Amino acid sequence: MTDPRSALVLFSGGQDSTACLAWALERYAHVETLGFDYAQRHSVELEARLHVRNELHTHFPHWAARLGDDHLLDMSLLSQISDTAMTAERAIEINAEGLPNTFVPGRNLLFFMFAATLAYRRGLSVLIGGMCETDFSGYPDCRDNTLKALQVALSLGVARPMTIETPLMWLDKAQTWALSAALGGEALNALIVEHTHTCYLGDRSQRHDWGYGCGQCPACALRARGFNAWRQHGDAPFADTGVMDTLT
């Protein structure tokens, strides 16, 4: 049954946010997408997100009718307030706090606040992001409690109910592949392999079973490991993990 509310998906063009977009399109009557341009070292993700939207629109007609406008916000100010491996030519490493230096403190809080402001103007009341505690990289702004607190603050701050949904919060990467397979079958996972982008280095010169990427960076390693686990075990082992419950 379709939820009559309208949703805004934080959509980067990666595997996780594409799974979230499919989840939203299956569930909500109207779904818009939001991307953030914050001077990443590569524009591959920004191109990927348009390809993914086009492919979804072409190959999943029952979702196409629900897929609304795309929005892209210029967040180049992030490079003024942080100095990290995502925005500067530096190697990815783990800092003294145990966080990867790709970490931009509070980035997801900022993203959700901008999303809520846009959602208010567009008449959307559900904000959806691909944050996840299970494959936890140590990002405190991805935690379930952080985002539940933010949901309350946003709803009070705009004096309108805002719901934050994070369908991947308790899934590992293999279960994320299983979720997208359940939502859109092999066709959706083939689309994710071919068109989404995850690699931190923006490498699309090497094609693997799980998609394009350098194969070495933490993002590639995580994606490859999850894909192989899903391929090895299929969807069945995940049937009793709650993955399928998120579809009802």
Distance CA(57)–CA(12), nearest Å, equals 17
Query: How many other β-carbons are positioned within 10 Å of the β-carbon of residue 115?
Result: 25
Strand order in the sheet with 126-128: 67-74, 28-37, 3-10, 126-128, 163-165
Nearer residue to Zn ion within complex by CB, 167 or 202: 202
Q: Does residue 199 belong to the site contacting Zn ion (CB under 5 A)?
A: yes
Interactions with Zn ion, residue window 206-235 (CB under 5 A):
213-214, 217, 220
Region near Zn ion per CB under 5 A, out of 149-157, 162-170, 181-189, 191-199? 191-199
Does 14 bind Zn ion (CB under 5 A)? Our answer is no
Which listed range, 2-10, 146-154, 161-169, 192-200, lies at the site for Zn ion (CB under 5 A)? 192-200
Nearest residue (CB) to Zn ion, 201 versus 229: 201
CB of 228 to Zn ion, least distance (A): 16
User: Which is closer to Zn ion, CB of 49 or CB of 223?
Assistant: 223
Residue closer to Zn ion by CB (options 40, 125) is 40
Cα dihedral 239, 242, 243, 248, rounded to 10, equals 100
Query: What residues numbered 42-71 form the site for Zn ion, per CB under 5 A?
Result: none
Tell me whether residue 59 is exposed, middle or buried, using C-beta atoms within 10 angstroms of its C-beta: 0 to 12, 13 to 18, 19 or more. Answer: middle
CA distance 23 to 181: 11
Q: Which residues form the interface with Zn ion (CB under 5 A)? A: 199, 201, 213-214, 217, 220
